Structure 1
Amino acid sequence: MDDRDLILADRYRLVRPLGRGGMGEVWEAQDTSLRRPVAVKVISILAGGGSRADEARARFLREARITAALQHPHIVTVHDLGEAATGEGTTPFLVMELLRGEGLDSVVRRGPVGEEEVARWGAQVCEALGEAHAAGVLHRDIKPANLFVAASGTLKVLDFGIARAADPSASGDRLTHTGFMVGTAAYMAPEQARGRPEQRSDLYSLGCVLFELLTGRLPFDAPDTLGYVTAHLHDPPPAPSSLVPGVSAPWDRLVGRLLAKDPRERHESAAVLADELRRLGGVPQAVPAARRYTPTVADRGEHGAASTSLAAPVSGDLAAASTVQAPAGPSGGAGMSRRDLLVRGAGVAAVAVAGGAAAMYLTGDPERDPVAWSQKIADVDVINSDGPDVVLADGRCHVAAGHYYKETAALHTFDLATGKPLWKVALHVRWARETRFTVVRGTVLALTDDSDHKGGQVHAFDAATGERRWQRSLSLSAMGLHVHRPSGLLISGEDGLVIGVDPRTGEQRWVIDVSSPYDASLMPAGDLILCSGGTAVLGKTGKKLWTRSGFQPQGDLAQPLGEGLLCYEAGRTAPVDLVCRKADTGEVMWRSPFKKTKPDTFVSGAFQPLDELVSGTTVFLPLAAGSRQRPTALNGLTGEQTWTYGSTYQQVDLQEQGTTSVAGGFVLPTGSGPVCLAADDGRQRWRADAPRVQTTGEYALLSETGQARVLQRWTSTRIVGVEHGRTLWTGQFDSTAMSEPAASGNSIAILDGSGTVWVVRV
Structure 2
Amino acid sequence: MEEHILADRYRLVRPLGQGGMGEVWEARDESLRRPVAVKVVSVLAGGGSRAAEARARFLREARITAALQHPNIVTVHDLGEAVTPEGTTPFLVMELLRGQGLDAVVRRGPVDGTDAARWGTGICEALAEAHEAGVLHRDIKPANVFVTASGGVKVLDFGIARAADPSATGDRLTQTGFLVGTAAYMAPEQARGHPERRSDLYALGCVLFELLTGRPPFTAPDTVGYLTAHLQDTPPAPSAVAAGLSPAWDRLVLRLLAKEPEQRYGSAAELADELRQLGDPAQATRPAPPGAATVAAPGRPAPDATTEALAGPAGRRDVNRRDLLLGGAGLAVLAAGGGSAALYLTGAPRRGPVAWSRNIGGAETALVADGRCHVAGVDSDSAVLHGLDLASGEPLWSAALDGPWVTGTHLAVVDGTVLTLTALADYSSNVVRAFDAASGDQLWQRPVALGTTRVDVHRPSGLLIMGEDTSVAGFDSRTGDSRWGVDASPFGGYVLAGDLVLFDGMGMAVLAATGDTRWERTDMYPRGDLGHALDTGILCYEVGEAPVDLVFRDARTGAVEWRTPFQREEPEPYVGAFRPIESLVSGTTVLLPPVEGDRERPTALDGLTGEPKWTHDGPYHPDEPARSVAGGFVLPAPEGRVCLAADDGTERWLDEAEDTDAVWATGDRALLYRTRRERLFRRWTTVRILDAEDGREAWSGAFDNHHVSPPASDGDLVVVVDGGGTVWALRV
Range of TM-score over shorter length = 0.5 to 0.7
Shift in Å at residue 483 of structure 1?
Answer: 1.1
Shift in Å at residue 314 of structure 1?
Answer: 11
The aligned amino acid for 1:742 is: A
Residue 664 of structure 2 corresponds to which residue in structure 1? 694
TM-score by length of 1: 0.52
Asked whether the 8 Å contact 1:593–1:626 carries over to 2, the reply is: no
Shift in Å at residue 725 of structure 1?
Answer: 0.7
Q: Does 1:680 align with 2:647?
A: yes
Distance 1:753 1:314, change over 3 A: farther
Number of residue equivalences? 426
d(CA) in 2 for partners of 1:470, 1:650: 48
Residue 539 of structure 2 corresponds to which residue in structure 1? 566
Residue number among 457, 478, 481 corresponding to 1:504 in the alignment = 478
Residue 614 of structure 2 corresponds to which residue in structure 1? 643
Residue number among 750, 755, 759 corresponding to 2:720 in the alignment = 750
The aligned amino acid for 2:723 is: G
Residue 372 of structure 1 corresponds to which residue in structure 2? 355
Q: Does 1:723 align with 2:693?
A: yes
Q: Which has the higher contact order (CA 8 A, sep 6+)?
A: 2
d(CA) in 2 for partners of 1:455, 1:342: 52
Q: Does 1:664 align with 2:634?
A: no
Distance 1:607 1:500, change over 3 A: same
Shift in Å at residue 686 of structure 1?
Answer: 1.4
Asked whether the 8 Å contact 1:315–1:353 carries over to 2, the reply is: no
Deviation string 1:136-179 (CA, Å, 9 cap, x unpaired) is xxxxxxxxxxxxxxxxxxxxxxxxxxxxxxxxxxxxxxxxxxxx
d(CA) in 1 for partners of 2:638, 2:618: 12
Residue number among 372, 387, 401 corresponding to 1:396 in the alignment = 372
Kindly report which structure 2 residues correspond to 1:329-344, keeping only aligned pairs within 5 A, or say none. Answer: none
Shift in Å at residue 676 of structure 1?
Answer: 1.3
Structure 1, unaligned stretches of length 5 or more?
Answer: 1-305, 326-337, 383-388
Shift in Å at residue 579 of structure 1?
Answer: 0.8
Residue 540 of structure 1 corresponds to which residue in structure 2? 513
Q: Does 1:469 align with 2:407?
A: no
d(CA) in 2 for partners of 1:401, 1:314: 32
Q: Does 1:439 align with 2:413?
A: yes
d(CA) in 1 for partners of 2:362, 2:709: 14
Kindly report which structure 2 residues correspond to 1:251-650, keeping only aligned pairs within 5 A, or say none. Answer: 308=165, 317-319=182-184, 320=186, 322=191, 348-354=330-336, 355-364=339-348, 366=350, 369-380=352-363, 382=364, 389-402=365-378, 407-450=381-424, 454-514=428-488, 516-518=489-491, 520-532=492-504, 533-572=506-545, 574-602=546-574, 604-650=575-621
The alignment's C-alpha RMSD in Å is 3.1
The 3-state SS of whatever aligns with 1:669 is: strand
d(CA) in 2 for partners of 1:663, 1:391: 20
The 3-state SS of whatever aligns with 1:499 is: strand
The 3-state SS of whatever aligns with 1:639 is: coil
Shift in Å at residue 493 of structure 1?
Answer: 2.0
Shift in Å at residue 550 of structure 1?
Answer: 4.4
Asked whether the 8 Å contact 1:316–1:356 carries over to 2, the reply is: no
Shift in Å at residue 434 of structure 1?
Answer: 3.2
The aligned amino acid for 2:604 is: A
Shift in Å at residue 584 of structure 1?
Answer: 1.1
The 3-state SS of whatever aligns with 2:582 is: helix
Distance 1:379 1:625, change over 3 A: same
Residue 54 of structure 2 corresponds to which residue in structure 1? none
Shift in Å at residue 703 of structure 1?
Answer: 2.8
Shift in Å at residue 371 of structure 1?
Answer: 0.4
The aligned amino acid for 1:696 is: T
The aligned amino acid for 1:474 is: V
Residue 736 of structure 1 corresponds to which residue in structure 2? 706
The 3-state SS of whatever aligns with 1:476 is: coil
Kindly report which structure 2 residues correspond to 1:237-256, keeping only aligned pairs within 5 A, or say none. Answer: none
The aligned amino acid for 2:335 is: V
The aligned amino acid for 1:322 is: A
The 3-state SS of whatever aligns with 1:611 is: helix
The aligned amino acid for 2:699 is: W
Asked whether the 8 Å contact 1:618–1:633 carries over to 2, the reply is: yes
Distance 1:323 1:715, change over 3 A: farther
d(CA) in 2 for partners of 1:410, 1:709: 34
The aligned amino acid for 1:723 is: E
Instruction: Return structure 1 stretches of 4+ with deviation > 6 angstroms.
Output: 312-316, 341-347
Asked whether the 8 Å contact 1:456–1:476 carries over to 2, the reply is: yes
The aligned amino acid for 1:463 is: A
The 3-state SS of whatever aligns with 2:583 is: helix
Question: Percent sequence identity over matched residues?
Answer: 47
The aligned amino acid for 2:455 is: L
d(CA) in 2 for partners of 1:363, 1:314: 14
The aligned amino acid for 1:464 is: A
Distance 1:627 1:426, change over 3 A: same
Shift in Å at residue 438 of structure 1?
Answer: 0.4
Distance 1:665 1:343, change over 3 A: closer
Shift in Å at residue 424 of structure 1?
Answer: 0.9
Shift in Å at residue 498 of structure 1?
Answer: 2.2
Shift in Å at residue 545 of structure 1?
Answer: 0.8
Shift in Å at residue 472 of structure 1?
Answer: 0.5
The 3-state SS of whatever aligns with 1:612 is: helix
Asked whether the 8 Å contact 1:502–1:509 carries over to 2, the reply is: yes
TM-score by length of 2: 0.54
Deviation string 1:302-344 (CA, Å, 9 cap, x unpaired) is xxxx97556699999543563569xxxxxxxxxxxx9xx9999
Shift in Å at residue 481 of structure 1?
Answer: 3.3
The 3-state SS of whatever aligns with 1:524 is: strand
d(CA) in 2 for partners of 1:479, 1:374: 37
Residue 265 of structure 1 corresponds to which residue in structure 2? none
d(CA) in 1 for partners of 2:731, 2:356: 9
d(CA) in 1 for partners of 2:711, 2:180: 24
Deviation string 1:494-533 (CA, Å, 9 cap, x unpaired) is 243321111111111222334x134x22221111111241
d(CA) in 1 for partners of 2:388, 2:448: 29
Asked whether the 8 Å contact 2:180–2:333 carries over to 1, the reply is: no
d(CA) in 2 for partners of 1:490, 1:567: 20
Shift in Å at residue 757 of structure 1?
Answer: 0.7
Distance 1:588 1:709, change over 3 A: same
Asked whether the 8 Å contact 1:717–1:730 carries over to 2, the reply is: yes
